[in-house]
């Protein structure tokens, strides 16, 4: 079983995902394999991995919105005391929006195009509370101010009268106005330019401090994860292949997939002395047995086609790779 020693033992975990597997219904195709991670109250956990690694699917399970064609075949997802995988649709509807807010890269479709933003806010607020229109308007303006928007103007605008960054801020305001315990931010900056994206991530960090909520930050871009998170899980082929304190993973990446991701980062403030490394094989090439990265791994060995358990390198860092043992031996020898 994959373990996140960094947070699994903490008593103040808000979200605990244990041994979660998701399969295509009536087939043996596993899309998520024995996922295990947890997010303490008030912390940002980053989930990083290439397209198709299972990040959004993980978010979908936490939201209780898994497609009917898929099924959870093992494991548990606990938000506080609630076991998400066994809640009814009605209970899930109560949790979504109120306890868990979801923020996607697709902010353009968050608002209906032909209805003014303010009216949409009022409808959402009145749907979840018994406030009058006047009270709901006040709440909407409050939260639009909170995300540093010109509140009155945005309130009276149609969505297509706002920039991408403004729309994403408005979507954030709408997502957080019920003070959720958990925000799932699924590639929240993908459709934005670099600077606007950075400001959106700054805003999320600021709101996290204010609301004391937790954030699951999903990205295929390591630079977003590195700068903002306390812990990180690296996903490949539906598995977390490395997990730990972000600083520990950064300082000493063990799994070759993590290492290659880190090496491939473009750093604008550094002169590149050598060619950026490329990964072998096609993206999305997943080994069915053993380590899912083994078909592309430069350090592959025979044992990688067997089950590769998560092994720990101290309390803040684990990886599912034979190189953990090599690392341990090296440490022992050089001590």
Using CB under 6 A as the binding rule, whether residue 70 contacts ligand ATP is answered as yes
Q: Closest CB to ligand ATP among 67 and 156?
A: 67
Using CB under 6 A as the binding rule, whether residue 263 contacts ligand ATP is answered as no
Using CB under 6 A as the binding rule, whether residue 73 contacts ligand ATP is answered as no
Using CB under 6 A as the binding rule, whether residue 106 contacts ligand ATP is answered as no
> Whole-angstrom Cα distance, residue 15 to residue 214?
9
Out of 49, 165, 188, 292, point to the residue binding ligand ATP (CB under 6 A): 49
Out of 52, 164, 290, 314, point to the residue binding ligand ATP (CB under 6 A): 52
Q: How far apart are the first and last CA of the chain?
A: 30
Q: How far is the CB of 276 from ligand ATP (least distance, A)?
A: 20
Using CB under 6 A as the binding rule, whether residue 191 contacts ligand ATP is answered as no
Of 152, 121, 159, whose CA–CA distance to 139 is shortest?
121
Using CB under 6 A as the binding rule, whether residue 57 contacts ligand ATP is answered as yes
Q: Rule CB under 6 A: which of 7-26 touch ligand ATP?
A: 24
Pairing status of strand 214-219 against strand 182-186? parallel
Q: Which helix (H) or strand (E) holds 101?
A: strand 100-104
Using CB under 6 A as the binding rule, whether residue 40 contacts ligand ATP is answered as no
Q: Rule CB under 6 A: which of 196-225 touch ligand ATP?
A: 220
Q: Closest CB to ligand ATP among 220 and 224?
A: 220
Sign of CA dihedral 262, 252, 34, 175: negative
Q: What is the DSSP letter of 313?
A: S
Q: Closest CB to ligand ATP among 62 and 170?
A: 62
Of 285, 195, 192, whose CA–CA distance to 236 is shortest?
285
Of 30, 5, 35, 3, whose CA–CA distance to 20 is shortest?
35
**Residue indicated by tokens 């209906």:** 112
Binding site for ligand ATP (CB under 6 A): 24, 31, 49, 51-57, 67, 69-70, 220
């Amino acid at each position: 079983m994959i373990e996140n020693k960094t947070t699994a033992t903490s008593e103040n975990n808000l979200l605990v995902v244990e041994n979660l597997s998701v399969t295509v219904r009536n087939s043996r195709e596993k899309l998520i394999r024995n996922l295990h991670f947890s997010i303490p109250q008030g912390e940002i956990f980053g989930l990083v991995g290439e397209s198709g690694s299972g990040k959004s699917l993980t978010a979908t399970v936490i939201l209780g919105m898994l497609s009917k064609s898929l099924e959870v075949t093992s494991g548990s997802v606990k938000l506080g005391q609630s076991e998400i995988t066994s809640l009814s649709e009605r209970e899930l509807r109560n949790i979504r929006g109120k306890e868990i807010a979801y923020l996607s890269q697709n902010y353009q479709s968050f608002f209906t195009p032909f209805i003014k933003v303010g009216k949409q806010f009022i409808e959402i607020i009145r749907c979840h509370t018994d406030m009058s229109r006047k009270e709901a308007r006040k709440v909407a303006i409050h939260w639009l101010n909170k995300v540093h928007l010109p509140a009155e103007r945005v309130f009276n605008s149609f969505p297509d009268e706002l920039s991408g960054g403004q729309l994403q801020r408005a979507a954030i305001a709408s997502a957080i106005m019920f003070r959720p315990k958990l925000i799932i931010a699924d590639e929240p900056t993908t459709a934005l330019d670099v600077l606007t994206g950075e400001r959106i991530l700054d805003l999320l960090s600021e709101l996290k401090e204010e609301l004391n909520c937790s954030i699951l930050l999903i990205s295929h871009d390591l630079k977003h994860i590195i700068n903002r998170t306390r812990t990180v899980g690296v996903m490949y082929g539906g598995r977390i292949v490395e997990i730990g304190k972000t600083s520990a993973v950064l300082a000493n990446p063990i799994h070759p997939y993590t290492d290659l991701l880190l090496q491939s980062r473009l750093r604008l403030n550094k002169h590149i002395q050598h060619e950026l490394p490329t990964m072998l094989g096609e993206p999305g090439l997943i080994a069915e047995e053993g380590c899912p990265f083994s078909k592309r791994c430069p350090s592959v060995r025979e044992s990688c086609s067997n089950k590769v358990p998560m092994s720990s390198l101290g309390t803040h860092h684990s990886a599912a790779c034979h190189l953990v043992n090599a690392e341990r031996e090296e440490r022992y020898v050089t001590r």
